Amino acid sequence: MNDAPDAPRTYDVIVIGAGPVGENVADRTRAAGLSTVVVESELVGGECSYWACMPSKALLRPALAHADARKLPGLSRAAQGPLDAAAVLARRDDFTSHWKDDGQVDWLRSVDVELVRGHGRLAGERRVEVDTPDGGTVRLEARHAVAVCTGTTAALPPMPGLDDIHPWTSREATSAKEVPGRLAVVGGGVVAVEMATAWQALGSQVTLLVRGNALLDRVEPFAGEMVADGLREAGVDVRFGANVSLVERDGAAGEVRIGLEGGARVAADEVLFATGRAPHTGDVGLETVGLKPGGWLPVDDTLLVTGVDGGWLYAVGDVNHRVLLTHEGKYQARIAGAVIAARAKGEPVDDAAWGRHVATADHAAVPQVVFTDPEVAAVGLSAAEAEQAGLRTKVVDYDLAQVAGASLYRDGYRGRARMVVDLDRGHLVGVTFVGPGVGELLHSATVAVAAEVPMERLWHAVPSYPTISEIWLRLLEAYRG
């Protein structure tokens, strides 16, 4: 490394963005012997650690445990009171390390990855310039690869008055210090339903404003219907066909008035817009390599950006728009790190060698859990998606409440399971579970879909009794007829 003041620092690999995706790319390339530097403008650990996965689940876990306890004899009487909101928020703060990244920085040091704090931008082929907090500039050059791992930001709709009301996005929803008396949530996706679940349980009166006529439109329709029923049972005012047309706040800290098409009005103390995500690529220097700023970065299955010559620029995680999920981004990061290392060493990149295969799991075996009451856990294709893909399928449904393990879980258990079988290939292409506690069932389904386990072999995977996993036996019995 050249330490002259104006000379670029040279590394094998430069990673822009130190969220979980960037961290995993750096870990894999460094483990392969490549010198690696990470550039981060905010907190090392990224969105997931401080404003998404971890704080949101810290808010949701007490809400879901409380819901279970209230429906379990022996606990129900003790659990009738409200949650201790202050304790829940304090525990949330612990999970975010109080928005300090010392531990994550220590981890980077432990794996011998260097950190440059500041705003990083591409400055041409294999070059990155970093504007540092002290007003300086650090110039970096990569021998082999630059990986853009900058993720996404909340997408807000163009709407008169929106900037003036200081709306919540997912960040404010997971980091708020006080419980608003009334919270309006605009949206019908995962963030919307999870935050409606959490804040209703913490004491807000939540109104969920859904533009369309269903929740969670990317999973089986019955999942969204059951989540809507669960939200209403918890006290959430769920309104479909609610298209927000204007917002205004009464004074700097007054109530927010929300106008809907058709003339209806909603009043709230805060309003959360959970209306999608946009790529965080507006100011990362894409124009210097012939790409349009602000857009998604399309990649091939080795995570190499298409449309950029030289085979050096990678885009990993949400920024490539393949799958906007942390665990899939980390999967891509492991693949990208292995691919970068293989190419740096002149080794072939194939799909046969362990640790060097190209990304495939983010095409057809994507798992996701929605942490509502009831939970939704799904992997692979829905029945409609399988039909649209032209597959000849058999769809098998089963009432989860009829499984012994579910009936023991809590009184009044409501749930449903569905598996979608490709009849021509003889294996599962999709599985969906809806019900309390089903999130822990999902990995078995993911293994079955990703590994294309023949249906005849699944019959010999015996579930333990009495657990909710016995649903596998019931589904297979129904499939066999």
Peptide bond into 374 cis (omega under 30): yes
Model pLDDT for residues 246-285, shown as the tens digit of each residue:
999 987 678 999 999 999 999 999 999 999 999 999 999 9
Q: How far apart are CA 274 and CA 37, in angstroms?
A: 33
Q: Which two tokens stand for residue 26?
A: 């750096």
Model pLDDT for residues 415-436, shown as the tens digit of each residue:
999 999 999 999 999 999 999 9
CA-to-CA dists, residue 86 to 80, 178, 299, angstroms: 18, 8, 44
300-320 mean pLDDT:
96
Question: How confident is the model at residue 4, as a pLDDT?
Answer: 47
Q: Which amino acid does the sequence have at 212?
A: G
6-23 mean pLDDT:
95
In this structure, the chain runs to a length of: 481
Q: Which amino acid does the sequence have at 165?
A: I
Domain 162-275: CATH architecture, name and number where available: 3-Layer(bba) Sandwich (3.50)
Instruction: Tell whether domain 9-45+101-153+279-361 is in CATH 3.50.50.60.
Output: yes
Question: For the CA atoms of 32, 355, 147, 30, what is the dihedral angle to 10 degrees?
Answer: -20
Whether residue 185 contacts residue 215, with contact meaning beta carbons closer than 8 Å, is answered with no
Q: How far apart are CA 481 and CA 478, in angstroms?
A: 5
Model pLDDT for residues 111-129, shown as the tens digit of each residue:
999 999 999 999 999 999 9
pTM score, two decimals? Answer: 0.95
Model pLDDT for residues 59-78, shown as the tens digit of each residue:
999 999 999 999 999 999 99
Q: Which of 195, 163, 167 lies closest to 269, judged by CA? A: 167
Question: How confident is the model at residue 5, as a pLDDT?
Answer: 54
CA-to-CA dists, residue 71 to 57, 116, 125, 184, 194, angstroms: 21, 51, 60, 27, 20
Q: Which amino acid does the sequence have at 117?
A: R
Q: How far apart are CA 280 and CA 271, in angstroms?
A: 23
Confidence at 106, pLDDT banded by 50, 70, 90:
very high
Model pLDDT for residues 87-101, shown as the tens digit of each residue:
999 999 999 999 999
Q: Which of 63, 433, 24, 444 lies closest to 222, judged by CA? A: 433
388-397 mean pLDDT:
98
pLDDT at 357 over 80: no
Q: Find the helix packing angle between 221-234 and 190-202, rounded to 10°.
A: 20
Is 288 exposed, middle or buried, given 0-12, 13-18 or 19+ CB atoms closer than 10 A?
middle
Q: Which two tokens stand for residue 343?
A: 């190419």
Q: Which amino acid does the sequence have at 197?
A: T
397-413 mean pLDDT:
96
- In three-state secondary structure terms, 242 is coil
At 104, give phi and psi (nearest 5°). -70, -40
Complete DSSP assignment for 277-340: EEES-TTS-GGGGT--TTS---B-TT-BBTT-TTS-EEE-SGGG-S---HHHHHHHHHHHHHHH
**455-459, long-range: CB within 8 Å, 24+ apart, which pairs?**
455/421, 455/426, 455/427, 455/428, 455/479, 456/426, 458/428
The one-character DSSP state at 404 is H
Model pLDDT for residues 187-230, shown as the tens digit of each residue:
999 999 999 999 999 999 999 999 999 999 999 999 999 999 99
In the chain, residues under CATH classification 3.30.390.30 are 374-480
What is the chain's mean pLDDT, rounded?
A: 95
Whether residue 14 contacts residue 147, with contact meaning beta carbons closer than 8 Å, is answered with yes
Q: Which of 339, 326, 457, 467 lies closest to 403, judged by CA? A: 467
Q: Which residues pair with 418 in a beta bridge?
A: 397, 432
Q: How far apart are CA 214 and CA 114, in angstroms?
A: 46
The one-character DSSP state at 469 is G
CATH code that applies to domain 374-480: 3.30.390.30
Peptide bond into 466 cis (omega under 30): yes
Whether residue 226 contacts residue 374, with contact meaning beta carbons closer than 8 Å, is answered with yes
In the chain, residues under CATH classification 3.50.50.60 are 9-45+101-153+279-361, 162-275
Q: Which two tokens stand for residue 433?
A: 């579970």
Q: How far apart are CA 112 and CA 376, in angstroms?
A: 39
- Sign of the dihedral through C-alpha 82, 86, 89, 91: negative
Q: How far apart are CA 95 and CA 108, in angstroms?
A: 19
297-317 mean pLDDT:
96
